[in-house]
Amino acid sequence: MNTITLTQPDDWHAHLRDGKALERTVPDLASQFHRAICMPNLVPPVKTVEEALAYRARIMAHVPEGVAFDPRMVLYLTDHTSPDEIQKIKHSEHVNAVKLYPAGATTNSANGVSDIRNVYAVLEQLEKYQIPLLLHGEVTHSHIDIFDREKRFLDEVLQPVIQQFSDLKIVLEHITTADAAQFVLAQGRKVAATITPQHLLFNRNDMLVGGIKPHFYCLPILKRQSHQTTLLEVATSGNPKFFLGTDSAPHAQDAKENACGCAGCYSAFTAIELYAQAFDQVGKIERLEGFSSHFGADFYGLPRNTQQITLVKEDFVIPESFDYLEDQKIIPLLAGKTLQWRKM
């Protein structure tokens, strides 16, 4: 197969940042996707429907003319989120979900939830109105090995939540382990997961062997090859519980290539080509459309897109860098490397 035509895909987990960063991130993401779930971990975070709509307006100001891009907004869950705010989401045209970051888990997560029991009243409202809870699924205790934090979250935090709120819609975002894949498979239809291109294409050897490669560093961190293999299996299985979420996150080159480098991979500009590469490597390119274009919309209760895109099997070199924030650069995922698929 040398060409494939897909329903236009959506990105169900993306970071655009704010301010001048939007000049870079919005056109890149809008060139690939019709809709995107826009993460709320700004400084300060997006905590109310009013703040989410104001953020959406700032994003829309940077959408290129003639491009149909529909940012879908998310509220940042804190220990002090009011349950009344959830009812406002139900009546909002553009706000679709609430995001739970365990406090200290990743970039700009200091305001996250310190104990899941603090937000049970909010979870009751999410369950009542069938609004998805999006989870960064890691515990943050310093004594727990970073490679075990996703598994511990499943056992110690998420399993009790599901037992307490059996009808709650949950997206376990950017899963990285066989444990998470098997956990999602074991749950009912209300529990789904997103998977990033980096966790399908790479494992911790790619990040560590021959020297640390900071542009592969993300959270949750890349795991063993056996976990990568399982993620590829479920992503390409045609199971609607698994769908596309890039977790594309812009960081300036000097912040990534640093003694304490930032976590996050920038994939917005070439995301669908990266996923095509992963699916084709295991001979499942025909399963890409469901994963990228159908299953996420279905889970969120939104209509599937009607426009189409075409990918051609043709060598495509990812740019070495992109301009970002005045004189700074972003180094994209697989900068300077050749992919075998290109979006026409």
Binding-site residues from annotation for substrate: 15-17, 41, 136, 219, 251, 263
Q: Tokens 């060598």 label which residue?
A: 315
* Annotated binding-site positions for Zn(2+): 13, 15, 99, 136, 174, 247
Q: Which amino acid is at 136?
A: H
Say how far apart CA 133 and CA 314 lie, in whole Å: 39
Residues 3, 46 contacting (CB under 8 angstroms): no
Contacts 24+ apart (CB under 8 A), 154-160: 154/179, 154/180, 154/183, 157/102, 157/116, 158/183, 160/116
- Alpha carbon distance 105, 98 (integer Å): 16
Amino acid making up residue 150:
E
Q: Which helix (H) or strand (E) holds 184?
A: helix 178-186
The answer for residues whose C-beta is within 8 angstroms of residue 77's C-beta and 6 or more apart is 98, 99, 100, 101, 112, 113, 119, 122, 133
Give me the catalytic one of 247, 280, 323, 327.
Answer: 247
Phi, psi of 157 (to 5 degrees): -115, -55
280 an active-site residue?
A: no
Q: Which two tokens stand for residue 209?
A: 């062997």
* Binding site, annotated residues: 13, 15-17, 41, 99, 136, 174, 219, 247, 251, 263
Q: What element of type H or E holds 7?
A: strand 3-7
Catalytic positions, written as ranges: 247
